Structure 1
Amino acid sequence: MIVTTGNEVAGHEIDQYLGVVRGIVVRSTGIARGFVGGLRSIGGGNIPEYAAVCEEARGHAFNLMLQHAREAGADAIIGMRYDATEFMQGATEVLAYGTAVKLLVRHKD
């Protein structure tokens, strides 16, 4: 499936807009990663344990969005974005969303 942050798909014409599709995940760091990440945060800089949690959450949200788009019969997702909100202390909601579209099929003459 084609996924783009743009509002069109290069080389294709959009035939139909199917609506917004999304994938939502709520993640916490977990005890081990939270402890190690907390210790590393004292020194400043990048915290690999927290980055890993963020990457996993984004990947999971992205895959859920793709599943939602497939269920809607989409060929592509345009205007794809991520959003993250602290859900509660130590837990973050990650949202992947975009507009599901059907692409015009061109027949070769």
Structure 2
Amino acid sequence: MIITTGNDIAGYEIVEYLGVVRGIVVRSTGIARGLIGGLRSIGGGNIPEYVAVCEEARQHAYDLMVQHAVEHGAEAVIAVRYDATEFMQGSTEVLAYGTAVKIVKA
């Protein structure tokens, strides 16, 4: 499956638009990462514990989006984007979305 942030795919023609596909995850930092991350935030700079939570959430949302695309019979997903919103204090929603399409070689 081809996944791109672009609106087209070099060497391919989009022959059918299947609609928007998405993957949604709501994550919290957890007690251990939250405590360690909170202590590190006092000193400023990058906080690896929070980075890990964000990366895991993005990857999980991406994987769910691809699964959704497969369920729709897609061969590619174009115009992929991420969005994140604080769901409640300490929990963030991460959304990966794009347009599922069928393609043929040009």
Q: Specify the TM-score bucket, using the shorter chain as the normaliser.
A: over 0.9
Q: Matched residues in 2 for 1:9 and 1:22: separation?
A: 19
One-letter amino acid of the counterpart of residue 54, structure 1: C
Instruction: Tell me which protein shows more strand as a share of its residues.
Output: 2
Q: Which runs of structure 2 are paired with 1:1-109 in the superposition (5 Å)?
A: 1-104=1-104
Segments of 4+ moved more than 2 angstroms: none
State the Cα RMSD in Å.
0.8
CA deviation after TM superposition for structure 1 residue 104, in Å: 2.2
Q: Matched residues in 2 for 1:86 and 1:46: separation?
A: 19
**Unaligned 5+ residue runs, structure 2?**
none
Q: Matched residues in 1 for 2:53 and 2:10: separation?
A: 33
**Unaligned 5+ residue runs, structure 1?**
none
- Please tell me whether Structure 1 or Structure 2 has the larger radius of gyration of its CA atoms: 1
Q: Matched residues in 1 for 2:5 and 2:50: separation?
A: 25
How many residues in Structure 1 have an aligned counterpart in Structure 2? 106
TM-score (norm 1): 0.95
TM-score (norm 2): 0.98
CA deviation after TM superposition for structure 1 residue 105, in Å: 5.0
Contact persistence 2:22–2:95 (CA under 8 A): yes
Q: Matched residues in 2 for 1:51 and 1:43: separation?
A: 16
Aligned-residue identity in percent: 77
Q: Matched residues in 1 for 2:105 and 2:46: separation?
A: 46
